[in-house]
Structure 1
Amino acid sequence: MPTNRDLVALDAEAVRTSVDMVARATAGDLDRPTPCAGWTLRDLLGHMAAQHHGFAAASRGEADIAVWRPRPLGDDPVGAYREAARHVLEAFAVDGVAQRAFPLPEIRDGGPFPGTQAVSFHFIDYVVHSWDVARTLGRPVTFDPELLDVALAVARAVPGGEARSGPGAAFAPAVTSQDGSRLDEIVALLGRSPAWRPVSV
């Protein structure tokens, strides 16, 4: 695994990639289905923005579950998402953030979790969500090999079994991946089919 500083930098790279992908969406794309079962792109953006706000609050030691709930994205969902991403990037850029204890009320018993582990949770989410958005829009997404190496290690460490099947599970059970890319392997480990395509694309 990378150093704490490197993990924060890799997380920032994943978040910036998600912003770049979201910026490609138009108003007509917001009702498209996504690889997240039952969610449109609008739903996914609401979730992604809420997670940014939640993790930013957790980095300051705040444990209010209300912060984690999706909020209306208004007339400019892309802009609202970009602002949420800016918020978490600024929060994680504070010196020593990876050494802090993060209360994460949506995960298991709520923690607190070691900062490095919490940042790794956020990091893997935004690698996968960048793929979700890209696949929804029918566009490619790429990451540096170093980032994918770390993301694969994190994905392999995510617990399986019943934790993947209950209500509100963060990830679906792993699916079989044919010999595809490193990113394909990561998303398959976390319950997405690398072959997923929206019907309309």
Structure 2
Amino acid sequence: MDIQRLDRQALSLTGAVVSRVKTDHMRLATPCADWTMYGLLRHLISQNEGFAASARGMGEPWSVWRDGDIGNDPAGAYEASADEVTTAFAEDDVLERRFALPEVGEGFGVPGRIAIGFHLIDYVVHAWDVAVTIGAPWEPSDELTTAALRIAGLVPDEGRGPGAAFRRRNAVPDDAPPGHRLLALLGRDPSWMPGPC
């Protein structure tokens, strides 16, 4: 699997829905219980910056994963962070480098190929979080959905839950559409709908 190319697809998918976020969406609750839309967008920007730093051997400090600033142009801030992480992920030997992932655990690190896979599934599913909150379409390609399902299926159950990098799995029928199975694997309820403002 060409993980770097697929990750660029995930970033583009998320960017397309982020570009549709309006000022009056920023205070809406999202499927990510801890975040309003503002918090979710800030997380997306922060994660891009954190993964970019980690690709370059500077991912240990928590601050590089939490300093994302959306300013007055959330879509522009997202695109700048997406460009930053895409550039970092394209560097020579990045797939073999050790990425520090302090959100998973202090001192925790994985090879770049695995870290980029984590990034990919995060952005495919966060694209849904944004889309379902604002009533926009979420249409990952079949190739991207298949790749994300493979990666999500490898995330262990240990360490999932509140405050962790990944939520606990939700059950869905075996014949559920692939997108629904992906959402459930990463702790989403595919039937989630935004509540009243």
For the aligned pair, the TM-score class normalised by the smaller chain equals over 0.9
**What SS class does the counterpart of residue 99 from structure 1 fall into?**
coil
Q: How far apart are the structure 1 equivalents of 2:68 and 2:144? A: 30
The equivalent position to 1:144 in structure 2, one of 141, 144, 147, is 141
Q: Does 1:102 align with 2:99?
A: yes
**Contact 1:47/1:70 (<8 A) preserved:** no
**What SS class does the counterpart of residue 39 from structure 1 fall into?**
coil
Deviations 1:118-175 (CA, angstroms, capped at 9, x unpaired): 11111110111111111111122112212211111111111114x123x521222111
Q: Does 1:176 align with 2:167?
A: no
**What SS class does the counterpart of residue 95 from structure 2 fall into?**
helix
**Contact 2:49/2:68 (<8 A) preserved:** no
The equivalent position to 2:51 in structure 1, one of 55, 76, 81, is 55
Residue in structure 2 matched with residue 75 of structure 1 by the alignment: 72
Residue in structure 1 matched with residue 9 of structure 2 by the alignment: 13
- Amino-acid identity (%): 43
Residue in structure 2 matched with residue 199 of structure 1 by the alignment: 195
Root-mean-square deviation over aligned CA pairs? 1.6
Letter paired with 1:164: R
Letter paired with 1:127: V
Q: How far apart are the structure 1 equivalents of 2:22 and 2:5? A: 29
CA-CA distance at 1:200 after TM superposition: 4.1
Alignment of 1:90-129 (within 5 A): 90-129=87-126
Q: How far apart are the structure 2 equivalents of 1:150 and 1:191? A: 17
Letter paired with 1:171: F
**C-alpha distance 70-135 of structure 1, shift in aligned 2 (>3 A):** farther
115-124 vs 97-106, greater mean Cα deviation: 97-106
**Contact 2:10/2:120 (<8 A) preserved:** yes
**Contact 1:138/1:197 (<8 A) preserved:** no
Q: How far apart are the structure 2 equivalents of 1:38 and 1:118? A: 23
Structure 2: unaligned runs, 5 residues or longer: none
Structure 1: unaligned runs, 5 residues or longer: none
**What SS class does the counterpart of residue 125 from structure 1 fall into?**
helix
**C-alpha distance 72-43 of structure 1, shift in aligned 2 (>3 A):** same
Letter paired with 2:163: G
TM normalised by structure 2 equals 0.92
Letter paired with 1:126: Y
42-51 vs 132-141, greater mean Cα deviation: 132-141
**Contact 2:104/2:164 (<8 A) preserved:** no
**What SS class does the counterpart of residue 102 from structure 1 fall into?**
strand
How many aligned residue pairs are there? Answer: 195
